[in-house]
Structure 1
Amino acid sequence: MKKLKIILEMIKFEHTVFALPFAFLGAVLGSLMVEGTWPTISEWVWITLAMVGARSAAMTLNRVIDARIDKKNPRTAERAIPAGLITINQSILFITASFVLLFISAYQLNMLSVYLLPIAVFFLTAYSYTKRFTWLCHIFLGVTIAIAPLGGWVGATGTLQSEAFLLFSAVAFWIAGFDVIYATQDADYDRKVGLFSIPAKFGVKKALYMARFFHLISFISLLTLHFLSPLSFVYLAGVLIAGVIMAYEHSIVKPDDLSKVKVAFFPMNGVISIVMLLFTIGDIML
């Protein structure tokens, strides 16, 4: 239990809140638009477990793959693996258990979820390597996490429709934008050791402009969904609130002052995902 606690702390298990509401959002909208109903209790449970398994496997893999890099970076040297609090073998055991949970959950939902599982596993595994060869690693991470609403949609309906890809676009560019903001902290280090990122490639100032552009695409995707679905003014209010929060994130992070990056990264983004889920559910109920 002590080792498990260390692993959960290492992967910031509580940050599952970033993607889980969007998986639920995909499930709720898919059920509404395809079946005209709500997801069943069973679907809620298995979608949740699938998300927990997917994120836990991906984050632990990321820590294993980046262990040597983390050990050399002063900001990450105290993470569990480089600090010797947890071993690679213990981490691999946890990764295996997480992928088993993901597979069982997909199988319990429907066969389309199982058939699409290899694509999800590829992205969950590969994204950790992308910063070794491309500054588009932020987009790759965004795409990986944006599989959540697609997974929720497929898990609840066994189908995929065009509206699901608007959610995919919204989440992909939302994640990519705040990952760029977070990466500004390591711009100098990444450049020094030959790692790729938008801040390392273009500098912090241009990176923050690109993050704004990514978030604008995310906002437009959420807004477009309003016009292509039965959602009404309550959902639209949620989109506007999310837009205001994203704008606030960018107002407190400046090229010459990155002291509030963690404020922009953690609390604000957790709020956005929860706001969008609650306002969507509220819209459907009303």
Structure 2
Amino acid sequence: MVGARSLAMGMNRLIDAEIDARNPRTARRELPAGLLSRVQVAAFCALALALYLIAVFQLAHIVRWLWPIPLVGFVVYPYLKRWTWLCHLWLGVVDGLAPMGGWIAVTGRLPWEAWALGGAVALWVAGFDLFYSLFDLEVDRAQGLHSAATHFGVRGVFAGARVCHALTVVLLAAVGAGLGAGGWYWAGVGTVTVLLVYEHALVRPGDLRRLDAAFFTVNGVISVVFCAFVLAETGL
């Protein structure tokens, strides 16, 4: 996970370096600001790829055939915003591969509960990435980039995020029901639901002052808290 995530972030910075340089919010990132060279970032990506492959070949044999799939997602994602607003959903799908990959690496199987968990993560990420697109709405319009915000406006983004996060809760509940999960898991689903409602209560189409808290803070808490409840459920 660390190798894959590091590789994805490094490739995103490389591919988007020129776009980032034209955006005041991202112009201070390492590549546009000249703090790192493209060669240095490429070397970092190579090291991250090596770490990813070393880890992959310690896992179940089937994983050795599946490892290129996330790499395709990493490469395609940065380019999608140049063509389609579906980039948000693609990002979610790429992140949703993580729990599915972990599941098949441990069990060698991919039952419907694994697909549902991957779908929950995909929709959760897509939902908060819709919010993230609001940070760069005017800049994306000026650069001719495609995002949900440039296509559907602020209200459309809010509507899409609500749908994504409602379906996230539904899928998490489906996973729990399918696995016969106990109280700790359901407490986790309930807590995630409350936090998602709170996230959406922080911002309104006409008031984005707390967008940072809604996007960064709340979702960071969600991931840690839900992980804690799942660990409690498993007795770890």
The TM-score range, normalised by the shorter chain, is over 0.9
Please report how far the alpha carbon of residue 97 of structure 1 lies from its aligned counterpart in structure 2 after TM superposition.
Answer: 0.7
Does residue 1:90 correspond to 2:40, yes or no? yes
**Structure with more contact order per residue of length (Cα contacts < 8 Å, sep ≥ 6):** 1
> Is contact 1:53–1:101 with CA below 8 Å preserved after alignment?
yes
Instruction: Return the alpha-carbon distance in structure 2 between the equivalents of residues 137 and 158 of structure 1.
Output: 30
> Is contact 1:231–1:280 with CA below 8 Å preserved after alignment?
no
Which residue identity is paired with 2:35? Answer: L
Does residue 1:206 correspond to 2:156, yes or no? yes
Alignment of 1:239-254 (within 5 A): 239-254=189-204
Equivalent in the alignment of 2:140: 190
Does residue 1:103 correspond to 2:41, yes or no? no
Please report how far the alpha carbon of residue 96 of structure 1 lies from its aligned counterpart in structure 2 after TM superposition.
Answer: 0.7
Please report how far the alpha carbon of residue 285 of structure 1 lies from its aligned counterpart in structure 2 after TM superposition.
Answer: 2.2
Which residue among 145, 150, 154 is the counterpart of 2:100?
150
Instruction: Return the alpha-carbon distance in structure 1 between the equivalents of residues 81 and 119 of structure 2.
Output: 21
Which residue identity is paired with 1:95? Answer: C
Which residue identity is paired with 1:179? Answer: D
Which residue identity is paired with 2:151? Answer: K
Q: Cα RMSD (Å) of the superposition?
A: 1.2
Identity of aligned residues (%): 43
> Is contact 1:127–1:141 with CA below 8 Å preserved after alignment?
yes
The normalised TM-score by structure 2 is 0.97
Instruction: Return the alpha-carbon distance in structure 1 between the equivalents of residues 135 and 205 of structure 2.
Output: 10
Alignment of 1:265-280 (within 5 A): 265-280=215-230
Q: Which consecutive residues of structure 1, in runs of 5 or more, have no partner in the other structure? A: 1-50
Please report how far the alpha carbon of residue 253 of structure 1 lies from its aligned counterpart in structure 2 after TM superposition.
Answer: 1.4
How many residue pairs match? The answer is: 236
CA deviation map 1:88-128 (0-9, x unaligned) = 00000000110111111010012211111111111122111
> Is contact 1:112–1:159 with CA below 8 Å preserved after alignment?
no
> Is contact 2:113–2:174 with CA below 8 Å preserved after alignment?
no
> Is contact 1:70–1:82 with CA below 8 Å preserved after alignment?
yes
Equivalent in the alignment of 1:62: 12
Which residue identity is paired with 1:203? Answer: G
The normalised TM-score by structure 1 is 0.80
Equivalent in the alignment of 1:42: none
Which residue among 108, 119, 125 is the counterpart of 2:75?
125
Instruction: Return the alpha-carbon distance in structure 2 between the equivalents of residues 88 and 140 of structure 1.
Output: 25
Please report how far the alpha carbon of residue 264 of structure 1 lies from its aligned counterpart in structure 2 after TM superposition.
Answer: 1.2
Please report how far the alpha carbon of residue 75 of structure 1 lies from its aligned counterpart in structure 2 after TM superposition.
Answer: 1.0
Please report how far the alpha carbon of residue 268 of structure 1 lies from its aligned counterpart in structure 2 after TM superposition.
Answer: 1.1
Structure 1 SS opposite 2:26: coil
Alignment of 1:69-84 (within 5 A): 69-84=19-34
Instruction: Return the alpha-carbon distance in structure 2 between the equivalents of residues 185 and 120 of structure 1.
Output: 27
Equivalent in the alignment of 1:264: 214
Which residue identity is paired with 1:60? Answer: G
Does residue 1:223 correspond to 2:183, yes or no? no
